[in-house]
Structure 1
Amino acid sequence: MPAKDPDDTFGGEPIVGPRSMAAIPIATLASALVGLSDHPQIFRIISNISGCDLWCLKLSDASKCLLSDPQALAILSQSELAQFDKFRYHRDRLAYFAKRLLIRNVLCKYAVVTPEAWKFTANEHGLPMLSAEHKVDHLHFNLSRTTDLAVCAISKHGSIGIDVEDITGPDITELSTTILSVKEHRKLQRLPARERGFAMLRYWTLKEAYAKCRGVGLSLPISESCFDYEDPESVHMTVLSDSDKNANPLRFNQVILLNRYLIAVAQRVDCA
Structure 2
Amino acid sequence: MTGHPVQVQVQVWWARLDDARPALLTLLDPVERARYESTPDPAARGRFLVGCALGRLVLGRLLDLPPADVPLRRVCPRCGGPHGKPRLRTPPTGLSGEPQALDFSVTHSGRLVGVAVCRDGEVGLDVEESGPGTVVDVDSAARVALSAAELAALRARPAGERQSAFLRTWTRKEAVLKALGTGLTVPLRELEVSPPDRPPAVLTWPTPFQPHSRPRMSLADLLVENTHPAAVAVALREPSGSRPKDAGAEEDGVVIDVAAHDGTRTLATYAG
TM-score category of the 2 structures, normalised to the smaller one: 0.7 to 0.9
Q: Provide the C-alpha distance between the structure 2 equivalents of 1:258 and 1:141, rounded to a whole number of angstroms.
A: 22
Q: Provide the C-alpha distance between the structure 2 equivalents of 1:82 and 1:241, rounded to a whole number of angstroms.
A: 34
Contact 2:11–2:118, Cα closer than 8 Å, also in 1: yes
Instruction: Pick the aligned partner of 2:89 from 131, 142, 149.
Output: 131
Q: Provide the C-alpha distance between the structure 2 equivalents of 1:134 and 1:230, rounded to a whole number of angstroms.
A: 37
Q: Provide the C-alpha distance between the structure 2 equivalents of 1:121 and 1:61, rounded to a whole number of angstroms.
A: 24
Contact 2:200–2:219, Cα closer than 8 Å, also in 1: yes
Q: Provide the C-alpha distance between the structure 2 equivalents of 1:189 and 1:255, rounded to a whole number of angstroms.
A: 24
Bigger Rg, structure 1 or 2: 2
Q: Provide the C-alpha distance between the structure 1 equivalents of 2:104 and 2:196, rounded to a whole number of angstroms.
A: 28
C-alpha deviation, 1:166, in angstroms: 0.7
* Deviation digits for residues 220-266 of structure 1 (CA, Å, limit 9, x no counterpart): 1110111114565x212122533222221210111111122211111
Q: Name the residue aligned to 2:239.
A: none
Gapped regions of structure 1 (runs ≥ 5): 1-48
> Which runs of structure 2 are paired with 1:152-163 in the superposition (5 Å)?
152-163=115-126
Instruction: Pick the aligned partner of 1:252 from 208, 219, 241.
Output: 219
Q: Name the residue aligned to 2:168.
A: 202
- Normalising by structure 2, what TM-score? 0.74
C-alpha deviation, 1:268, in angstroms: 2.3
Q: Name the residue aligned to 1:242.
A: 207
C-alpha deviation, 1:89, in angstroms: 2.3
Q: Name the residue aligned to 2:232.
A: 265
* Deviation digits for residues 61-90 of structure 1 (CA, Å, limit 9, x no counterpart): 22xx22xxxx43111112211111111122
* Change beyond 3 A, Cα 1:194–1:227: same
* Change beyond 3 A, Cα 1:230–1:263: closer
Q: Name the residue aligned to 2:266.
A: none
Task: Look up the SS of the partner of 2:232 in the other structure.
Answer: strand
Q: Name the residue aligned to 1:185.
A: 151
**Cα RMSD, aligned residues only:** 2.0
* Change beyond 3 A, Cα 1:124–1:150: closer
Contact 2:17–2:43, Cα closer than 8 Å, also in 1: no
Gapped regions of structure 2 (runs ≥ 5): 1-6, 78-83, 94-98, 237-253, 257-272
Give the aligned length.
217
